[in-house]
Amino acid sequence: MSTTPTVDARTLVRWRAAVFAIFTASGLSIATWASRVPAIKQTLGVDNIQVGMMLLGAGIASIVGLSLASVVLARFGARKGMLGAMLLFAVGVAVIGVGTDIAQSYALVVTGLVLFGMGNGAVDVMMNVEGAAIEKQLNKTILPLFHAFFSFGTVIGAGLGVAAVAAGLDVLAHTAVIAVSIVVLAFVSIANVPARAAAMDPDAADAPAEPKTAWRERLHIALSAWREPRTYALGVVMLGMAFAEGGANDWLALGMVEGHGADQALGAAGLAVFSISMTVVRVAGGPLVDRFGRVATLRVLAVTAATGLLLFILAPSVPLVFVGAALWGAGISLGFPLGMSAAADDPEKAAARVSAAAAIGYIAFLCGPPILGIISERVGLLNTLYVLVVLIVASGLASRAARPLPGAHVGEGHRRSH
């Protein structure tokens, strides 16, 4: 089994900080879109089905980005690959603003979401492979902390969304500021990612183009991930949690506005509570996983998420809705990072397995938005969220697949969960 080459302490610190920043930028972009969904819907004059179809475009593009990520890593390396993906989703954020307030064009907003989705899908695989490589350098669970920085980004994005709504800032001005910020973060962070850092084969991540035989071997590794039952089980774990996280990002604010009679500012605040709760658990998640193991942690959090969602749906008052949002965020916090970590147990096949498992998880973003939008037009948005409860239960039942592979270099809790 391959191991990731050791780097010196100073390089490791800079590398880790850079990947923290990349996770943050991704979260910032997603929360920027999510916090302005009500305003975009109102400006364009569309219904929930049309909002769902917008998100379908982003979901399809995300799958494409995920599918191409391992090839991009192998061909261009982690640094160029992540930089290109970040610039792509920054442009997408800007186009969403232009489509909303200048062109008032549904098609242009969808175009922005396609760029946004493709860039985020690609960078998702790359940054998680990088995070898994750093995790193995430290020999302890740290991917939840990386995902906490994604959540920091969503908290910042949701907070800025609240401020933008309160200040009467239009979507264009808001997204333009965020897009420029992401571009700056991209160049600064990529400058601190070491060359040749973690890819499908860590020793060749930033290497030049290779002979056809090497490319055939890489293709074989990529395809082999789809023949492993564990890949599909991890995909179920990640699908349930990704669906519930994406459901919050896309529908929580609107659910509070349309389902509980809150105003737009309270809707954005509800998303902020969800994001803060998710972030807190991700910060504390590494030591918890090292203490109790992946499987036990995932099962407890699945119960927490299902409880929070039911409270969010059924709560008779807005304060209880916020409690439900907090439990919802806490419960789904570690499903995706631990699924990624489990998929990356073998560094040699990390990119292929992460890409395959994440692609299954991202079906949530592909199928979820139109399904939820269509159902909500018939039974109401809050009743539609019961779909998420069912998927969270399925995720908890599949969590046994997250047990580490024999010989994986992981923390103490992972060894206990064999």
pLDDT (tens digit per residue) in 56-99: 788 788 888 988 887 888 788 889 999 999 999 999 999 999 99
pLDDT category at 350 given cuts 50, 70, 90 is: low
pTM listed for this prediction: 0.72
Burial class (CB in 10 A: 0-12, 13-18, 19+), 167: exposed
Whether the Cβ atoms of residue 221 and residue 355 lie closer than 8 Å to each other: no
> What is the DSSP annotation of 205-242?
TT-----HHHHHHHHHHHHHGGG-HHHHHHHHHHHHHH
Arithmetic mean of pLDDT, 193-203: 54
The pLDDT value recorded for residue 348 is: 65
Mean per-residue pLDDT, 175-189: 96
Provide, rounded to the nearest whole percent, the portion of the chain with pLDDT above 70. Answer: 84
Lowest mean pLDDT among 13-27, 39-53, 233-247, 386-400: 233-247
Q: What's the CA gap between 319 and 270, in Å, rounded?
A: 10
Kindly state the tokens that stand for 54: 């917008």
Residue 209: pLDDT above 50? no
Q: Choose among 298, 307, 290, 310: nearest CA to 237.
A: 298
Count of Cβ atoms closer than 10 Å to residue 83 Cβ: 22
CA distance 147 to 336: 9
What are 23's two structure tokens?
Answer: 């996770």
Q: Is the pLDDT of residue 25 over 80?
A: yes
Pick from 243, 232, 253, 213: nearest CA to 368: 243
Residues in the chain, overall count: 418
Give the per-residue pLDDT at 67. 80
Instruction: Name the DSSP letter for residue 97.
Output: H
Q: Is the pLDDT of residue 410 over 60?
A: no
Q: What pLDDT shows up at residue 406?
A: 66
Which value, to the nearest 10 degrees, does the dihedral of the CA atoms of residues 80, 85, 87, 92 take? 170
**Confidence category of residue 154, pLDDT binned at 50, 70, 90:** confident
Q: How far apart, in whole angstroms, are the C-alpha atoms of residue 190 and residue 303?
A: 38
**Mean per-residue pLDDT for 171-199?**
87
- pLDDT, residue 407, reads 58
Least confident of 21-25, 103-107, 144-148, 218-222: 218-222
pLDDT tens readout for residues 264-275: 788 888 888 998
From the list 327, 286, 271, the residue with the least C-alpha distance to 303 is: 327
- Distance, first Cα to last Cα, the chain: 18
Out of 66-80, 347-361, 378-392, least confident range: 347-361
Work out the widest C-alpha separation in the chain, in whole angstroms: 64
Q: Bigger pLDDT: 173 or 144?
A: 173
User: 220: closest CA among 407, 74, 3?
Assistant: 74
152: which 2 tokens?
Answer: 């920091």
151 within 8 A of 278, measured Cβ to Cβ:
yes
- pLDDT band at residue 415 under the 50/70/90 scheme: very low
Q: Mean pLDDT, the chain, as a whole number?
A: 83
Q: What does the alpha-carbon distance between residue 411 and residue 267 come to, in Å, rounded to a whole number?
A: 39
Instruction: Give yes or no for a contact between 262 and 275, defined as CB atoms under 8 angstroms apart.
Output: no
Q: Is the pLDDT of residue 398 over 50?
A: yes
Which position has the token pair 């997250």?
Answer: 402
pLDDT score at 368: 67
pLDDT of residue 177: 95
- Structure confidence at residue 119 (pLDDT): 95
State how far the Cα of 329 lies from the Cα of 276, in Å rounded to an integer.
Answer: 8
Q: At what angle do helices 143-166 and 9-35 cross, to 10 degrees?
A: 40
